[in-house]
Structure 1
Amino acid sequence: MNPDPDGSVLLTSTDVEELLRAAVDHGGGSLLSWQLDHVDAHPQRSTTATYTAVVDWPFGRRNELLGASVRVGGRTETDERAVIFADGQREVAVWLYPRDPDLPGLVRAAYPEQVAALLHAYEITPELVETDQVELEMIGYRPRRRAVLRATVPIDGRRTVFYIKVLRQKLFEPTLRRHQLLLGAGLPAPQVAAATDDCLLVLPQLPGRPLAQAIFDPQPPCTAEQLVGLLDAMPREVATLPRRNPWTDAIDQYAAMVAAALPPLESRLQWLVTQVRGGLAGIGPGSEPTHGDFHEGQLFVADGRVTGLLDIDTVGPGRRADDLACLVAHLSTVQRMSTVQAARVSQLVRTWMPVFDARVDPVELRLRAAGVVVSLATGPYRGQEPHWEAETEQIVDAAERLVRSAG
């Protein structure tokens, strides 16, 4: 029996070096050094990891990003786009960024010259921009899931920002439909400047600034009533879309992921699972139009009002408590704040909670928020943060406080 069927041990240990070295050799290079960068583990199902590396190529030395995946049950169709290595017990798919097997458009979105050509082809820029005039920055990359890059280019003498969203093929058309649906209803979702055959969405920058920054302002960035009103303004058609299960439904899975990374927390996590599962038993899935991943990172604000709503891939039917709980969970787990920042966020939560409590059941709100917090506890390990153990424990602390506050 294979003691490591999901590859979680292999891909996070020095044993992976042989695979990385073989993959680089296959591409014509020589691996000089490497370091684990990101881990996305699903116990007993799959593990995906990325590694920063220094590689000597025939044309010179470069910093590279390598990816590797192991799946229980063997390779998938998209794994065929990577280099497959087998050790007799499992198969490992290895690739060199940006050739992510599940994100075909990333190859085009990752290079300034390709982005310049893309923007001109869709008449976003009136003329072809020189490569050295394109500022390209990776905003987020979940290997084999999604990526977002920020492109800044000159248009009519002004530096103009666009976001390039790189999607999996099966999610591309549904995401585009959601943009069109919310824009048609007058919600402040991003306009779509381009939708490409290789699953890229080009979105202009929203007005205002991220709520994730504004939560630290001396004055409230917006009101709780505005946030609830934004969600309640979603068109009824949203409730007819395919359902995405709320974060809380997978609390067992997330708890297992955290416990696998940090076993001393296992008993506390099991207590949380029992409390959340028991407290929410019998509550139906709901049929309200919901965002599905509503938090401060998805909102833009200006002059005390909401000006933008991002990442609407998850829009669909659900319960309003899920959306509000997601926001509460994120605000309850902001990391690395100063004393002043922590006080301001705490005051904001205390101000907003009574409004949320008037819209949804207060106990359900807190239990669902605790469930979302458990999902967020996977983040520090997944991102290989320098002090991920301590940050993970702090997040679990926040989940326990929410459960206890539910009574």
Structure 2
Amino acid sequence: MPDDGARLLTGPRVEPLLRAAVDHQGGQLLSWSLDHVDAAPEQSTTATYVAQILWPHGERTELLGVSARIGELVPSDERAEIFEDGHRRVAVWLYPNDPDLLGLPRAAFPDRMAETLNAGSVLARPVTAEQLSLSMIAYRPRRRAVVKVVVNDPHEVFYVKVLRERLFEDVLNKHTLLRDAGLPAPEVALTTPDHLMVTRELPGMAMARALFEPGDPCRPEDLISLLDAMPPAVAGLERRPPWSDAVGHYARMVSATLPELADELNWLTNQITSGLAQYPLGNEPTHGDFHEGQLRVAGGRVVGMLDVDTIGPGRRADDLACLIGHLSTIQRMNREQETKVRDILARWVPVFDQRVDPVELRLRAAAVVISLATGPYRGQEIDWRQQTMGMIRSAGALVRQVV
């Protein structure tokens, strides 16, 4: 099997690379731990590490990133520091200087973010760094980041998407398309030449949180209606493969970390792939990554839809299955919360069955669950093995309902 760097970046042999990179920056590596792993089996691996570093000005906790690939490095790797371990060349960088997210240094520091908001006249009056609170909501190294910016006095909230150059215009156009059609997508307040997209906070509460408030966050019919209200032009955008198309890829990723699940994953992959072969490519407007974390609700209604980067043609079952897959794999719930989510699924899935093919819905949902099962290891959760096994059991339960 080609060496994609996973063993190097997830084991103790990475330490000399980290130490050399820190020395090159003028620091001393005191300690480190693996933080996050992004693997494309037989292609590349990117990992981040929480490192304690002694600098001339004092000790700090830093985030280091390393990318290894099969074959030659890609052009953007040259924006990082290149080191060799004797067998391969790897790209190493110190957060926030991500070689593919050129705007991240601007989004990571309050003073630079204040300058950006002021230059774009986003607020009614200038703000200072002291009036901003920044928090990283999501960071996929070399892929994307989202920073929450809270402005104090008067209170206002923005979300800053840090995007790769080749995706920026496409994502901006998708926001505009949906907003112009009256869909509750985020309003873009500002864009920058280094590919930041600043959006205003949508109203309401995140559905992921509202699930655990009294009552239902919304009606299942409302979710279907929201998706069906997307403009026909969405179906003319570039097609993004549904999650089920990559089920074999994600199954291999899980098997690489938990070989004892290989037989079950092979069976699930075969059942999903053969079962979905009868369904043609869809041409309905779809969200592409539709789940409780992407929705805002208020008063039992949907009032916002986030992360519209993935919209394009597909099948309505793709979106509804994505939601089912995510709801089926929420982690760290107490018993009361588990009971509520099970009850919601028991009532919502039959409504979805009336809109799409029930067999297709469950097979696609199982594929989504398998894709999500890579998350606990990537995030280096303490109990990632137990979480992953539980997710694969959930996928199996969905498949066994219809085969």
**TM above 0.5, one fold?**
yes
Deviation of the 1:88 alpha carbon: 3.9
Equivalent position amino acid for 2:49 in 1 = Y
Provide the C-alpha distance between the structure 2 equivalents of 1:232 and 1:51, rounded to a whole number of angstroms: 42
Say which SS state the counterpart of residue 9 (structure 1) adopts.
Answer: helix
Deviation of the 1:8 alpha carbon: 0.3
Provide the C-alpha distance between the structure 2 equivalents of 1:138 and 1:368, rounded to a whole number of angstroms: 31
Provide the C-alpha distance between the structure 1 equivalents of 2:89 and 2:310, rounded to a whole number of angstroms: 31
* Residue 65 (1) aligns with residue 63 (2): yes
Which residue number corresponds to residue 172 of structure 2?
A: 176
**Match 2:49 to one of 34, 37, 51:** 51
Equivalent position amino acid for 2:98 in 1 = D
Deviation of the 1:151 alpha carbon: 0.6
Equivalent position amino acid for 2:400 in 1 = R
Per-residue deviation, residues 62-86 of structure 1 (Å, max 9, x unmatched) = 1100000011122001000001112
* Residue 307 (1) aligns with residue 303 (2): yes
Per-residue deviation, residues 238-290 of structure 1 (Å, max 9, x unmatched) = 01111110111000100000000111111111111011011011311211100
Q: Is the 8 A contact 2:17 2:85 kept in 1?
A: no
Which residue number corresponds to residue 197 of structure 1?
A: 193
Say which SS state the counterpart of residue 102 (structure 1) adopts.
Answer: coil
* Residue 148 (1) aligns with residue 146 (2): yes
Q: What is the correspondence of 1:194-233 to structure 2 with a 5 Å cutoff? A: 194-233=190-229
Q: Is the 8 A contact 2:110 2:129 kept in 1?
A: yes
Greater shift, 362-371 or 51-60, is seen at 51-60
Provide the C-alpha distance between the structure 1 equivalents of 2:162 and 2:282, rounded to a whole number of angstroms: 30
* Residue 278 (1) aligns with residue 282 (2): no
Equivalent position amino acid for 1:270 in 2 = N
Say which SS state the counterpart of residue 66 (structure 2) adopts.
Answer: strand
Equivalent position amino acid for 1:342 in 2 = E
Q: Is the 8 A contact 1:55 1:61 kept in 2?
A: yes
Provide the C-alpha distance between the structure 2 equivalents of 1:114 and 1:124, rounded to a whole number of angstroms: 14
Q: Is the 8 A contact 1:74 1:90 kept in 2?
A: no
Deviation of the 1:381 alpha carbon: 0.2
Per-residue deviation, residues 200-257 of structure 1 (Å, max 9, x unmatched) = 0101111000000111223111001000000000000001111110111000100000
Provide the C-alpha distance between the structure 1 equivalents of 2:320 and 2:397, rounded to a whole number of angstroms: 17
Which residue number corresponds to residue 249 of structure 2?
A: 253
Which residue number corresponds to residue 320 of structure 1?
A: 316
What TM-score do the two structures reach when normalised by structure 2?
A: 0.99
Q: Is the 8 A contact 2:234 2:312 kept in 1?
A: yes
Say which SS state the counterpart of residue 284 (structure 1) adopts.
Answer: coil
Q: What is the correspondence of 1:35-184 to structure 2 with a 5 Å cutoff? A: 35-154=33-152, 157-184=153-180
Provide the C-alpha distance between the structure 2 equivalents of 1:7 and 1:258, rounded to a whole number of angstroms: 16
Equivalent position amino acid for 1:124 in 2 = V
* Residue 362 (1) aligns with residue 355 (2): no
Alpha-carbon RMSD: 1.0
Per-residue deviation, residues 294-340 of structure 1 (Å, max 9, x unmatched) = 00000000000001000011000001000000000000011110110
Say which SS state the counterpart of residue 367 (structure 1) adopts.
Answer: helix
Report sequence identity in percent: 59
Deviation of the 1:355 alpha carbon: 1.0
Any runs of at least 4 consecutive aligned residues in structure 1 with deviations exceeding 3 A, and if so which? none
Which residue number corresponds to residue 342 of structure 1?
A: 338
Equivalent position amino acid for 1:313 in 2 = D
Q: Is the 8 A contact 1:210 1:297 kept in 2?
A: yes
Q: Provide structure 2 residue ranges, at least 5 long, that are not aligned to the other structure.
A: none
Greater shift, 121-130 or 317-326, is seen at 121-130
Q: Is the 8 A contact 1:4 1:10 kept in 2?
A: no
Equivalent position amino acid for 1:302 in 2 = A
Q: Is the 8 A contact 2:120 2:190 kept in 1?
A: yes
Q: Is the 8 A contact 1:85 1:93 kept in 2?
A: yes
Paired residue total: 403
Q: Is the 8 A contact 1:120 1:129 kept in 2?
A: yes
Which residue number corresponds to residue 396 of structure 2?
A: 400
Deviation of the 1:4 alpha carbon: 6.3
Q: Is the 8 A contact 1:120 1:126 kept in 2?
A: no
Greater shift, 185-194 or 122-131, is seen at 122-131
